[in-house]
Amino acid sequence: MYLNPIFVSPSPHKYDTQDYEHIDPHLGVIVEDTDNLKEKYKVRTTSEKNLIESDNLFKKLVDEAHKRNIKIVLDGVFNHCGSYHKWVNEYKIYGEDVGVANDPNVPESEYFYWNKDGYEGWWVINHCQN
């Protein structure tokens, strides 16, 4: 079974990964939620409860597949990240002091290409510092 990216991501295609360590709760389990539309995405994708339950559901899927001699292949796109990723954190999902969009001197800045206008993104689009 081949699965397109299933890690936490703000888009339906999931190639702009936010967090490679967890399965996206929108594909898994949402236990903790809010009615506040400005906070809904953040709560859904950063809640430890949602992430753990989604990971557990994926483990069950893999276990059941393996019982049936079905192998799982993940499209991980580990050389991609998006504006929501912890290393970028453009929308401050992980706080004010995290990510290259908030501080070009964070340790992860070495993973990005820089020019006079900021770090370079998709198709060499410059992302300026706030």
Structurally, how many domains does the chain consist of? Answer: 1
Residue 6 and residue 77 in contact, taking contact as beta carbons nearer than 8 Å: no
4-25 as b/e, with b when 16 or more CB fall inside 10 Å? ebbbbbbeeebebbbbbebbbb
Mean pLDDT computed over every residue of the chain:
89
Confidence (pLDDT) at 128: 55
Instruction: Write out pLDDT tens, residues 85-121.
Output: 999 998 999 988 899 888 888 998 888 888 777 777 7
- CA angle 42/105/103 to nearest 5° reads 35
Query: Taking 90 as the threshold, does the pLDDT of residue 40 lie above it?
Result: yes
Check whether 15 has a pLDDT greater than 80.
yes
Distances (CA, A) of 42 to 24, 59, 89, 124: 12, 24, 12, 28
* Domain that residue 89 falls in: 2-127
Q: Is the pLDDT of residue 78 over 90?
A: no
pTM over 0.85: no
